[in-house]
Every structure is written in C-alpha cells, then in structure tokens.
Amino acid sequence: MGLSLGFDFYFLIRCIAHLRQQEPEIKENESDEAEGVNEEHLERLIALEDGDDEPDYEWEKLKFSVLVKSGERYLQVRLGPLVFLDSCNIFPASLDALIADLRNTEKDPAKAFPLLAERHPLFANAELFKEEARLAHPVFAKMWKQNRTFYREQVWNLLLKKIPMPFERMAGPECWEMDPVMPDRSYYNSRLTGEVCSEAKYEEIQKIVDFFDFKTFGEFHDAYLHTDMALADVIEAYREAFFGHYGLDPAHYVTGASAAWDAMLKSCTGKDRPLQLVRDEGIYRIIRESVRGGLSNPFQPYAKANNVGIGEDFNESEPTSHLKKFDVNSQYPTVMSRPLPMDGGEWVQLQPSKKQRLKQLYDLLEATDYNAEDYAETYLVKVSYYVPCEAHDFIDWAPPARMSVQSAELSEYSKVLMRNRGLLKAPGNPKLMPFLGFHREESLQLRLLKFYMETMRIRICEVYVIIRFDCKAFMKPFIEKCYTQRLQLRRAGRKLQDKVVKTTMCVQFGKSVQNQEAFRNADVFTDRALYEKQLAGERTVDYHSYPSSAGFLGLVYTTKAKPALLKSVPQIGTFVLDEARLDITKYHYALRKIFDGQANKPVDPSYSLSERSAVRAIYTDTDSDIVHIFSEVDPAVKLAEGNLKGDSPCFWDVGGDVKEAEKYLLALGACPEAAKLAAERRGELGGFGDEGAPLCIVEVVALGPKCYSEWQTDAAKFYRKFKAKGFSKQQRKQMTHEAYRRVWMEGKPGAPSISYRFESKNHVMNLVKVQEIGLSPFTDKVWQLDRCNSRPHGHWRNMPEPCVSLCLLAFGLHESGRSLPACFVDKVLSFLVADAGYLALEMRGGSFKGVLFTELADLLGNLLFDQPPSWLLAVLCFEWGTVFVFHPVSVQRLAWHYVAWFSVHLQLVHRLRRSPGRMAAWFAPSGPFLWHWQKKASNLVRLSLCSR
C-alpha cells in the first residue's frame, strides 16, 4: 500500500498511463534448449536469479482504477495489488506540523521516528555511536571525544525542521550540481507561498551545509528529501493508536472519516442495538430538504470594548463594555452524545382540517421540553410560520432561512457598498441567513420549533408533515471516550492529535448526511479504442480525455446500473444540525437575560443605548458567538457565579483554555466557590467556553460570513485572530487587522491581491498567477443601516414609507405619546390568506399556553374568497409617488408583515401621501377595508384587517 501526498497523484497516473502503453518487446530465444521449458517453471527460475535486472511486468494486464473526488482530484489509485492513498485525507495538516506533533511524544526523537532513524542515511549514522560515524563525517572528528552525543542531537535538530528550498531555481537536472548554498537569500523566496527567506533562515542553511560538509545542492536536497520518511512514522503511530482503541486499521480506508465511522458502528451498534436506514422515499426526501448547515453571519460590522483590560484606550467617561467570543465545546459531539434517531421514521397521520392539525401539533408541543437531554422520541415537522411584527425589535438572532436576496431587498447603504464592490446587482445566490419574515413549508425539529415559539413568539400558520423517530443515546460511550482522550492530548500539548480525535468525533455527523445520490462510476482508460467504445454506452453522463506525451488517458463517468444503495442515516444528520442550532441560539438568549436582569429588552438600533439590551450580537459562526456586553462587572465573573445557581441552560466555561483558571477568575473578582467550580469543569463537553480567555478582545470587525478580525491584548502586547474564507494562504498572510478596519471605515474593497497556486490541467501541473479582489464590506446577509448598525432581513422597519409610518401608528408612537393597541396590527399590513389563523404560545400565569386563532377568521375567509386567486397583486411603494406591482409569491418574504394587500385600489399610496387624514374614512363601512373580529378568549376580541 502506498501513501501519496498532494499533487503526486498526477505524476503517478501519467506514469501508469505511459507504462501501460509501451509496446511489449518480442524476445528471440537465445538457444533451442529453452523451447521445451515450462513457462511457469521458467518464471520461477527468473525470480530466483541473483541479478540486477528488474522483473518484466505486463502493465497493461494489471487492473487500473481510480476513485475520483472531483475534477482531476483523486482519493485513491489502484494498480493491480498496489493501492495509493492520499494521506491528506487522513491528516488535514502539513508534514511539518505532523512531525512537530509526533516529536512531542518522546524525549528521544529516534524512538518517536524509528523508521526515519533506521532508513535515513544521516540519521542511521547518527545512531551508531561508533568510530565509523566519526569517519563518515570528518567535520565532526574534532569534537567526537568531547561529546559523543552532540553529533546525534545536531543531526536531529538540523534536519527535522522546515528549511527553505530554492524551488524556482530547480528547473532542470543541472541544478543538482549547483553549490549547496545559493549566492543570495532571495533565491529561497517563494511566489507560491509568498514566503520571504529571512536572514536567520539563510544563516541556518549555511550552518547545515557546513556541519554535514555537503559538496553540491543535490546532496543538500537529498538529505531533506529523505526526511519525508517521517510521514511513515506518523502514519504507523496513528495506525497503532487507532487499532489499539477500536481494533481497526485506518490505512485500509480511503479516508479517515470512513475509518472513524466504522469505529463508531463497531463500538455503538450491534444486533441488540440496530441502527436502521430510512426505507420510505417520502420521509427520505423531507429529511434531505431539512438539512441546513450552521449559520455564519455578521450581525453588526464593528464593535470596540471599553474596559481596564484594553490598556491605554480605556475611556472612563464612556460606558464600560466587554467583547467576548463564546464557543460550544465540541458542539456536534455534544449533540451526538444525546439520544439520536435510531429508526427510519414513521408518518404521523394528520387531521383533515387546519384547526385540528394545529391542535394536533400543540399536543405534541406540550409534551416536548427542549431543555431535556433524555427523551425517547423526536419529531420532524414541516410547517409555515412567521415572526409577528411586535416581536421584531426584540430579536437579533432570528430563525435562519435558506434564501436569496435580490437588489430590491437591500438597504440604501448596502447598495452603495454593492456598487463600490463593482456589482451591478445583488449576487442572488441562495444562502442561510437570519430572517424575520415568512418561512414557507420549512422542515425542522419540534424541539427547535418550540424554542422559537416561546422565545421569538413565532406563529404557526399551517402544518404539512409530522414524522416520528425513536431515539436512543447509542453514540454516547464512543463520544465520551474520544472526548476524554482529546482532553488528555490537549493538556499534553499534542495539538494535532487533539485535532485528529476531534475530527474522529465530528465526522460522524458528516458521514450521516453524506448524499450518495450523485455518486457516479469513473472508469479509467489508457486504450483510446476502448475509451471511444465506452462513450457510446447508454449510462455515460460525462467524459474527459487527457492526451499527452506520456500516453493517452481517458475517464468516462457513468451512472450506476442499479439505483444507489442508501448507506447513510440522514435522519441523524438533520437532527444534529437542528439540535446544535437550538443549543447555541438558546445560550445566546440566556446570555441576554443574565445581563438584562431577566428582562426582554429590545435590540434594534432605533432605540437608545439605555433602552437596548446589554448584550449586542456581533458575529456568529456555526459553534461560536461574538457579543458586545455592557457591564461594569467582567462577564466572566458574572457567568462564573451564575454557574453556582445551576439554572442556566449550559455550563458557562469561562475558564476556557486558561491553565490556571482558578487564579485567573479570582484575579478578575470571582468568588472562590465560583472560581473553583469553573476550574474543575474547565473544558467540559458542551460547555459554552470563553475562547478568548485570558486575552482581552479590544476590537472586532465583521465584514461578512467567515470574514472577521479580532484585535486582542494581554495589556502588554497585541495579537490578531482572524478568518478570511475564500482567500489563499498567501493572501491571508498579508492581511492585518488594520486592513479589515480600513475597509470597514471607507466602505470600499481593499486593494486587489496577487497570489500563485498550482493547478492541474490534463494532469500537468502549472503555476498559475491569480489576481483577486481584496476584503469587502458588502454582505447581503443583513440589512445594513449604516457603517455601524444592521438588523435582520424581514424586519418591519426595513420597509420604505408609508409602510413604516403605518406600522409605527399601529404599534404606538411612544415619542409623541400616542399609542394604539399592538393587537391592531395582528393582520394589518400583512398578506392574508382565505384560510386565516395560526397557532402561538403566549405567557399566561407564569407558563406558556397554546393560543389558537382560527374559528371566525376561517368563516369570514371562506365567505369572502371561495376560491382565492393565486395571482392577487401586492403593492409596494419604494419611494413616494412610485408604485411597483409584484406577484405575491415573489414578495411574500420581502413584505409579509408590512405591506397592505390591495386587490384593486392602486391609488391608495397616493391618497395616503396627499391626505393622511383620510385614513379614518377608509375604515368606515363604505371604505375599502373590511374588519375581521377574532374571538381570542372568553371576553377578548382580536381586531384585524384585510382588503375588500
């Protein structure tokens, strides 16, 4: 079994293609004596010959196959009994990082790297400790008697590290005869990585050459080429550890994820604990529709802390505030340690009428506790819902929806940023983002739905599907074992192995949602005639050919002869995603309540600083939450003391990765009991950890999804932590926090950057120059009010006049003292449907009770519209005097709660502009509006409105 790294596959495949197309040589018998010799006997005799001749293989008869990842990227190459795997699919790290991690396991590097010590010529000599070692290295002769171990230590220290190479000077075989040290350090600069050879590195190269007495660059190069043998030691160490834990050899798997998945199945399932596949295609399709990844979203583009920890920038006259980045400790493994769906699911029979379906859903909601961690069943529901207008100002982290934003749905400030970005219109590509508007036919877990109903007061308009799953915490022993192992590795400084174990846990989610429907067969051909014959096959869907001087190579992609066999369990994957979303959203709103004194305060920028919540959402990633907290007390202290009460939905892991967490918290002002508890439970699975501790975050610039920068300090020195998805490694090295800040301040993209990368075309590697636009402040995932403030899409305040004025009038203009009941706008400025009504949860008597609005609305709706036409128009006024008409389907998201639905009266907007006083006349019996009265409780009536 061979292991290949990176681009070696391209050279390997071209070599195989060349060998398989060589003309077989016709050999004449040298004597007549060979004619009577049995061929099999002759082959044995040849094999026994003690000569230098290589055996003559019939390459064209060896089975040649590839496993394609994408394009010209391969996971595996097979040639007869040989299997070549890409080691990067097992270890997602550089060779340098792998070597450094393994070296930490032993004080003696020869024990950590036994294969390297045995097979590398310089390392092998270093282990002799004999006179021949001295003779092999004349430079060392003078000091041999002084310190016989010095040479050994120097060999390991000098060779087992990353050294610059003059790759751009290695253009032909003549380079091997060059001097071992290039005449200038600029020869070692790399356009590919953007690295510049420092003077210290250049001196280190000179030291190595002098120590080993290399005569040519070829000797210097080969000495470091042999150190790649260290990868074999890394693989062997990993194989040994993995086999010891799970009894499986990961080298027999194409990827580390496949090995980890089988390890989990072996440990957690069996005849008495079967994990069932989905057998109903309808259930399978709904599960696939419900799979939505984690949310990566900027909420506010900029925030700056103001506390004593930031140093000289602290301003005593300004409110004290802190920037914190909280992270769920092993988010997906935490969820997977809970009860998970074990069966393929079963349909729940829905009631015939809408009212009965909503009541049926409410019965399930009553029996559901989203804080429970032990449950025997779970439900996947498909519903339509929306967030009522009166709740918008109190929500920052809105329910996410997969949607595409058009130019008309952007704020004026966003349009300016878009034009500065060089775009004529919004990208319009679907993405996941917080949305306060109408969510149509969305599938999600019932536990998450109930949290939305209680926290964000969402209203369920219709129930389409309910699917029930049996649950069991079958993966818990595997996850807990891995997590314990990971904590040990982390505390031992084994960061890379810690990452490998983390990946072993997290890939269980990835394998569960793996979609095999798009999988295709890839047949490889080195014979052009056979390739062309295969192209005519009825199952052929794609093909590529790569003719070159090495020989012909062709790939033909075909659909499988039989339907794809379902091997994954997507019901687990979608459950894990929604549970993870429930956890981090729940923790965010719990954080707000702690610092707002359990009050539900608004977060919208239209309110004054004193009225708003003390916790401002800045940025969220899949498992992290960056917040701006206004508090005189350090948030770590308040949260640590909150752990003592035991009423939070999570453990606030404020100690984070601080080694002396107890001392750290005591210094901040925490009580001894809280500090001790935080230290004891530091790193707990599922804890909401302070990722920045013990550093203080001074400033955060959040330009877009996975594109933000943190400026941190320890009061003596500043540090930068950032993400820049989509940028090359070379570009990321050049980025500074100031570059992020400048882009945010100016509202214009940063300077274009030039980088280089390897690209394969026809299996030939080329160095390609790439020019890309720099950082950009434009994002379409929020409604950007200005340089400092944003709000979620779908908020009623995002609408143009006169819609905002109508909403303010309906909600009450607190500035002028006028106020109207909020229930007035229950249906005002909303799209209405004939089958009106919804299910909501309202706080009554200290607990949430289900409230159903359907009876009278259903009756009036049926009387007004026997068969409501689907083409009814909605009117939307973007500017005074300008009226746009849209199909309701295209604007149901944009204006679900904010635009009056007019059947005919298109002059309404102009009337409002000319004479707002006429609005009272419109509500008269002869006016264009009709009142709806909904019975709410025994003596309560809800007033709503629709067009005649």
Per-residue pLDDT, 331: 92
Beta-bridge mates of residue 270:
273
Give the pTM: 0.80
SS3 469: strand
**What is the rounded distance in angstroms from the CA atom of residue 490 to the CA atom of residue 478?**
18
SS3 877: strand
From 737, 615, 608, 588, select the one nearest 300 (Cα to Cα). Answer: 615
List the Cα angle 571/575/580 in 5-degree steps.
155
Per-residue pLDDT, 447: 96
Are 466 and 362 within 8 A, CB to CB?
Answer: no
Are 56 and 43 within 8 A, CB to CB?
Answer: no
Tell the burial category of 78 from Cβ atoms under 10 Å away from its Cβ (0-12, 13-18, 19+).
middle
- The sign of the CA dihedral 771, 773, 775, 780 is negative
Question: Is the pLDDT reported for residue 271 higher than 70?
Answer: yes
Residue 496 confidence class, pLDDT cut points 50, 70, 90: confident
- 642 is written with which tokens? 């909150």
Are 333 and 580 within 8 A, CB to CB?
Answer: no
First to last CA, the chain: 76
Pairing of strands 696-704, 707-713: antiparallel
Contacts of residue 768, Cβ cutoff 8 Å, sequence gap at least 6: 756, 757, 758, 759
Burial code (b: 16+ CB inside 10 Å, e: under 16) for 95-123 equals bebbbbbbbeeeeebeebbebbbeebebb
Question: Does 832 or 399 have the greater pLDDT score?
Answer: 399
**What is the rounded distance in angstroms from the CA atom of residue 460 to the CA atom of residue 841?**
10
Give the residue carrying structure tokens 């030691």.
233
SS3 297: strand
Q: Which of 89-103, 123-137, 612-626 comes out lowest in average pLDDT?
A: 123-137
Question: Is the pLDDT reported for residue 596 higher than 90?
Answer: yes
**What is the rounded distance in angstroms from the CA atom of residue 466 to the CA atom of residue 486?**
38
Per-residue pLDDT, 803: 59
Cis peptide before 570 (omega within 30 of 0): no
Residue 822 confidence class, pLDDT cut points 50, 70, 90: very low
Are 732 and 753 within 8 A, CB to CB?
Answer: no
**What is the rounded distance in angstroms from the CA atom of residue 122 to the CA atom of residue 145?**
19
* Phi/psi-derived region of residue 597, left when phi > 0, alpha when psi is between -120 and 50, beta in every other case: left
Query: 619 φ, ψ to 5°?
Result: -160, 145
Q: Which of 53-67, 361-375, 492-506, 569-583 comes out lowest in average pLDDT?
A: 53-67
**What is the rounded distance in angstroms from the CA atom of residue 299 to the CA atom of residue 624?**
13
Residue 863 confidence class, pLDDT cut points 50, 70, 90: very low
Which residue type sits at 109? P
Residue 111 confidence class, pLDDT cut points 50, 70, 90: confident
Question: Is the pLDDT reported for residue 31 higher than 80?
Answer: no
Are 302 and 787 within 8 A, CB to CB?
Answer: yes
**What is the rounded distance in angstroms from the CA atom of residue 468 to the CA atom of residue 347?**
6
Burial code (b: 16+ CB inside 10 Å, e: under 16) for 515-552 equals eeeeeeebbbbbeeeebeebeeeeeeeebeebeeebbb
- 657 is written with which tokens? 């990765």
- 873 is written with which tokens? 């128009």
**What is the rounded distance in angstroms from the CA atom of residue 580 to the CA atom of residue 308?**
35
**What is the rounded distance in angstroms from the CA atom of residue 343 to the CA atom of residue 278?**
7
Distances (CA, A) of 659 to 34, 480, 668, 679, 693: 77, 22, 15, 9, 10
Beta-bridge mates of residue 433:
401
Question: Is the pLDDT reported for residue 828 higher than 50?
Answer: no
**What is the rounded distance in angstroms from the CA atom of residue 756 to the CA atom of residue 751?**
17
Question: Is the pLDDT reported for residue 279 higher than 80?
Answer: yes
SS3 719: strand
Distances (CA, A) of 185 to 188, 200, 767: 6, 10, 22
Contacts of residue 918, Cβ cutoff 8 Å, sequence gap at least 6: 911, 912
Are 181 and 206 within 8 A, CB to CB?
Answer: yes
Share of the chain above pLDDT 90, in %: 36
Per-residue pLDDT, 808: 57
From 465, 582, 464, 454, select the one nearest 840 (Cα to Cα). Answer: 454
Question: Does 393 or 29 have the greater pLDDT score?
Answer: 393
Question: Does 721 or 139 have the greater pLDDT score?
Answer: 721
Averaged pLDDT for residues 888-915? 35
List the Cα angle 39/42/45 in 5-degree steps.
160
Consecutive H or E run containing 468 = strand 459-472
Which residue type sits at 718? F
Tell the burial category of 376 from Cβ atoms under 10 Å away from its Cβ (0-12, 13-18, 19+).
exposed
From 939, 295, 894, select the one nearest 580 (Cα to Cα). Answer: 295
Domain boundaries, the chain: 1-27+64-88+520-563, 95-234, 799-833+868-947
Helix axes 230-246, 256-268, angle to 10 degrees: 20
Question: Does 534 or 3 have the greater pLDDT score?
Answer: 534
Per-residue pLDDT, 832: 35
From 585, 621, 575, 583, select the one nearest 290 (Cα to Cα). Answer: 575
Q: Where are the alpha helices (DSSP H) in 832-948?
A: 855-864, 888-891, 908-914, 919-922
Cis peptide before 802 (omega within 30 of 0): yes
- The sign of the CA dihedral 289, 290, 293, 295 is positive
**What is the rounded distance in angstroms from the CA atom of residue 589 to the CA atom of residue 879?**
36
Strand boundaries in 190-236, DSSP class E:
none
Interval 289-345: pLDDT, tens: 999 988 999 999 999 999 999 988 899 999 999 999 999 998 999 999 999 999 999
**What is the rounded distance in angstroms from the CA atom of residue 503 to the CA atom of residue 14?**
33
Per-residue pLDDT, 885: 31
**What is the rounded distance in angstroms from the CA atom of residue 402 to the CA atom of residue 293?**
10
Count of beta carbons in the 10 Å neighbourhood of residue 84: 20
- The sign of the CA dihedral 673, 674, 679, 685 is positive
